[in-house]
A and B are shown apart, each in its own frame.
Chain A
Amino acid sequence: MSRFFDRRWLPLLGPLLLLALWQLVISAHWVKAVLLPPPMDTMAHMASVFASGSIFPDLWATLYRTLCSFGIAVAIGVPLGVMLGSAEGAYRSVEFLIDFFRSTPSSALIPLFLLIFGITDVNKIAIASFGAMLIVLFNSAYGVMNAKKTRVMAAQIMGVSRWHVFKDVLLMESLAQTFVGLRSAVSMALVIVIVAEMFIGSETGLGHRIIDAQQVFNVKEMYTSILVTGALGYLLNLAFLLAEKRLIHWSGKA
């Protein structure tokens, strides 16, 4: 069997099956063509929007907003999380707030942010960075709090200064958990940016493109934009996974 079938091709099986199912649904007329275009037409349309370059302004706008939000979330969330994590009393005192807002869907806060920031680009970035920041903060704080006590004691016994115990042990210990946070946070930022582009008046972005296509029943365009958005999310996640594997080589092993 291994002669004909290499296990490395297994991951392709799922997507191919989905495409086949998609085609079957069209061919068997289970769904109206006006709701679901044939897969090959959609792929052709996707190729054309990339070839003409018409999707790039929207793709870059979404990527730019997502990365901006993520950058702000990291710049605030990591230092704050590490600080709160190393003073457990401080974390406990704000734990409820963090958990409450982490559990609140950020899209529910869109009207609130509209009041504060108006219908601007800043608003989309502000709400996405808020949602992503809570995830980063929470994971960084827990990374520090769950640091192995034995390692901290080992460093203390060596006579290492408090600053170096913090920098060499606590901070390093928190990195694995922090990276989990970063990966979830970039996905969260993308989700909120897309939702914000759909519902907070917007001229650019993949979210804007999806909702515009839907309004005029341009389903090929809508599915293309959905697939591109999905691919963007997947690639961002993949980039963080690869970075994590390289940088946090001990994750899950120690």
Chain B
Amino acid sequence: MTASLPTALMPPLTDETVLTLRPAPKTHVTVRGLSKSFAGAPLYTHFNLDLPRGKIVSIFGPNGCGKSTLMNMIAGLVPVDSGEILFDGKSLKDTQIGYVFQNYRDALFPWITAWDNIAYPLKRKGMRAAEVKSRVDELVALFEIRFDLARYPYELSGGQMQTVCIMRSLATRPEVLFLDEPFSALDFEMTLFIRAKLQDAHIATGTTMVIVSHDLEDAVFLADRILLLTRRPTRIAEIVEFDMPRPRLPEAVADPAFVAVKARTLEVFRREMAS
């Protein structure tokens, strides 16, 4: 159809846009012609990416390739030099997103209780007290919370704080949930717990999720797709699919399918390290 347009009306073809490079079917987030450089050194140039709807995508790559930067540009925390990022064709401004930080201690508001932290974004949306309560109760049931949410964040353990962070980020029913190294400050037991909770939340809500992880096993465990990046200037090295059915139990890490995907991912990673 674009071919029949008079050339004068065509956008210049120097940059990729959703008009020149249409998103794949079932795409939720479209990144086109993204460029970003730091102190003159290009990190991303004309970077294109489609994030599928309702899937969990893990971003994995060598140190300094800009895993977090990519996610933070999509989430609007880091400005882009140029490019276009659309959520279902909408801009970020019109999209409700959630974000889980690596440092849960610095992300929660210590002056209000854990319960009020979860309720805060709902109250600020102008929701009535009764609705806020029922939404928080829903999350408490979904996450099977057994600790006292009337306590202040600093009275909770690390794993409990990160659970509260995830509940807060899901409270507003975001379209996309971004997680920046959500396990890296947690011990192994808590990592297993939060991984399981995130998976439950994903099964229950179907929220599109993007996870940045530096741990290969964590990256593979939750993912439907593992997005492997190259060294800078960063491109997509490969997108590995992982369609093991959910819920995946902790034992899944020993499953031949899991081992195969992990091996494939490691192979690409090592190839990119060497290049």
Interface of A with B (CB < 8 Å)?
Answer: 148, 150-151, 153-154, 156-161, 164, 168-169, 172, 175, 248-250, 253-254
Q: How far is the CB of A216 from chain B (nearest CB, A)?
A: 54
Question: Which of B77, B101, B124, B154 has a CB less than 8 Å from the CB of A250?
Answer: B154
What DSSP secondary structure best describes chain B's contact surface? loop
Known: A157-B77, A250-B154, A253-B154. A172 touches B109 (CB 8 A): yes
Cβ–Cβ < 8 Å partners of A248 in chain B: 111
- In whole angstroms, what is the CA distance A148 to B101 when docked? 13
Interface residues of B in 235-267 (CB under 8 A from A): none
A254 near B105 with CB under 8 A, answer yes
- In whole angstroms, what is the CA distance A160 to B153 when docked? 21
- In whole angstroms, what is the CA distance A154 to B152 when docked? 17
Question: Which of A154, A158, A253 has a CB less than 8 Å from the CB of B110?
Answer: A253
Cβ–Cβ < 8 Å partners of B110 in chain A: 250, 253-254
Interface of B with A (CB < 8 Å)?
Answer: 75-77, 96-99, 101, 103, 105-111, 120-121, 124-125, 152-154, 172
List 20 A–B pairs whose Cβ atoms lie within 8 Å, in order of A's numbering: A151-B109, A153-B99, A154-B99, A156-B77, A158-B121, A158-B172, A159-B96, A159-B125, A160-B121, A168-B109, A168-B124, A169-B109, A172-B109, A175-B111, A248-B111, A249-B152, A250-B152, A250-B154, A254-B153, A254-B154
A150 near B101 with CB under 8 A, answer yes
| Most chain B Cβ neighbours within 10 Å, of A157, A169, A248 | A157
Residue of A nearest to B97 (CB): A157
Cβ–Cβ < 8 Å partners of A172 in chain B: 109, 111
B107 near A154 with CB under 8 A, answer yes
Cβ–Cβ < 8 Å partners of A169 in chain B: 109
B106 near A151 with CB under 8 A, answer yes
B106 near A150 with CB under 8 A, answer yes
- In whole angstroms, what is the CA distance A254 to B120 when docked? 18
- In whole angstroms, what is the CA distance A249 to B125 when docked? 27
17 additional contacts (CB under 8 A) given A158-B121, A172-B109: A150-B101, A150-B106, A150-B107, A151-B108, A153-B77, A156-B77, A157-B75, A157-B98, A157-B99, A158-B120, A159-B121, A172-B111, A249-B111, A250-B111, A253-B110, A254-B105, A254-B153
Q: How far is the CB of B192 from chain A (nearest CB, A)?
A: 25
Cβ–Cβ < 8 Å partners of A148 in chain B: 106
Top 10 A-B pairs ranked by shortest CB distance? A254-B110, A250-B110, A150-B106, A253-B154, A158-B121, A157-B99, A148-B106, A254-B154, A154-B107, A172-B111
Cβ–Cβ < 8 Å partners of B96 in chain A: 159
Q: How far is the CB of B11 from chain A (nearest CB, A)?
A: 30
- In whole angstroms, what is the CA distance A220 to B111 when docked? 49
- In whole angstroms, what is the CA distance A222 to B152 when docked? 49
Cβ–Cβ < 8 Å partners of A153 in chain B: 77, 99, 101
Known: A150-B101, A157-B75, A157-B97. A164 touches B106 (CB 8 A): no
- In whole angstroms, what is the CA distance A92 to B96 when docked? 36
B152 near A158 with CB under 8 A, answer no
- In whole angstroms, what is the CA distance A204 to B124 when docked? 53
- In whole angstroms, what is the CA distance A4 to B82 when docked? 76
- In whole angstroms, what is the CA distance A160 to B172 when docked? 12
Cβ–Cβ < 8 Å partners of B124 in chain A: 158-161, 164, 168
Known: A164-B124, A172-B109. A150 touches B103 (CB 8 A): yes
- In whole angstroms, what is the CA distance A207 to B96 when docked? 62
Residue of A nearest to B101 (CB): A150
Cβ–Cβ < 8 Å partners of A175 in chain B: 111
Cβ–Cβ < 8 Å partners of B98 in chain A: 157
| Most chain A Cβ neighbours within 10 Å, of B76, B97, B124 | B124
Cβ–Cβ < 8 Å partners of A168 in chain B: 109, 120, 124
- In whole angstroms, what is the CA distance A161 to B121 when docked? 11
